[in-house]
Amino acid sequence: MRHVVVISTGGTIASRWQGDGYAAEAAGQEVLAAGAVPEGVDVSVVDLFTVNSSRLTTAHQLRLLHAVHEALADPGVDGVVVTHGTDTLEESAFFLDLFHDDHRPVVLTGAQKPLDAEDGDAAGNLYDALLTAASGRDIGAVIVFGGQVYAARGTVKKHTVDAHAFGDPDGLPLGRLEFGRVSWGRRRPRPAALPMPAPGVTGPRVDILTHHSDADAVLLNAALAAGARGLVVAGTGAGNANPEIADAVRRAVADGVLVLISTRVPAGAVAPLYTGGGAVDLVAAGARLAGSLRPAQARIAVLAALLATPGGEDPGQTLEAVLRATPQALRASELYLVDGVGH
């Protein structure tokens, strides 16, 4: 028998109709009872919290991180499954993966339809997650959804309500679930895990700001005034903003704030190609480029770097180590043109 711990956190997979909308309310045992458990797998359940994942906070994610590590402290446990809402599942999965230093897998799953839906996807996703947790090794934290296994890093929610909700816009799944087994594709190298945050630590404020036409530094300055220790700028195109934003970034970095540049574009890496407030100027101002991390996971990278370096160490170096494990941004010299179009 393989022993898997299921940590229940709420989400649609634990939701029922409340009269005017759905909300998470079911306990982990109720979620587990909605479907079958793979043969040869023994399950124990931990009810950690029950919330819609749009309400998730860093405090929730730190509780989840420590709960996973407590479960894996038992050598009789072969893997962990986390049932989670899909809204912020990509954030929690990447957060867990950055601190994961164990050959046993942590598998996050959820559902797009509520627990009591006749045509729901909860039972199938949970079955696949249990199978992956019982058999996978050296894969870190992964997302299992719609019959696919995805690495946490780079995977995002790509559709609001479709059953095949997740994907990596710049990569392929790690594996596929078919006929009661996992078929694995190419394995990805695992970066070194970050040091675990101490129990009871309070997460620092890290904000995301989206660039757009007419954007100015008002919201960026407001985030700094609110105490942000990290910022993610979701730039246009390959990670661009304007001179006013670049100047505000320069001042923030001078004050010790970590600034990471991502993009609001669904696929592709950020690249230092343009001046006039573009990524070239943002890098010159002291910001770092997020590679192919989308804004929500870029924020988790900054948050984790700050949590992993609470003392006198430089969190910027920790962030650089996290970013080195992602596909990197193109250098301007690597850009080539086909029919006058950059690729």
Active site amino acids: 12, 86
Residue 87 annotated as lining a ligand binding site: yes
CB-based contact 302:253 (threshold 8 Å): no
Task: Please tell me the distance from the alpha carbon of residue 284 to that of residue 237, in angstroms, as a whole number.
Answer: 18
Residue 54 annotated as lining a ligand binding site: no
Go through the chain and tell me how many residues it has: 343
Task: Please tell me the distance from the alpha carbon of residue 122 to that of residue 311, in angstroms, as a whole number.
Answer: 42
CB-based contact 133:78 (threshold 8 Å): yes
Task: Please tell me the distance from the alpha carbon of residue 289 to that of residue 150, in angstroms, as a whole number.
Answer: 23
Tokens found for residue 272: 């230092």
Residue 53 annotated as lining a ligand binding site: yes
Burial label for 184, CB within 10 Å (0-12, 13-18, 19+), is middle
Task: Please tell me the distance from the alpha carbon of residue 168 to that of residue 198, in angstroms, as a whole number.
Answer: 31
Sequence ranges of the binding site: 53, 86-87
Which parts are annotated binding residues for substrate? 53, 86-87
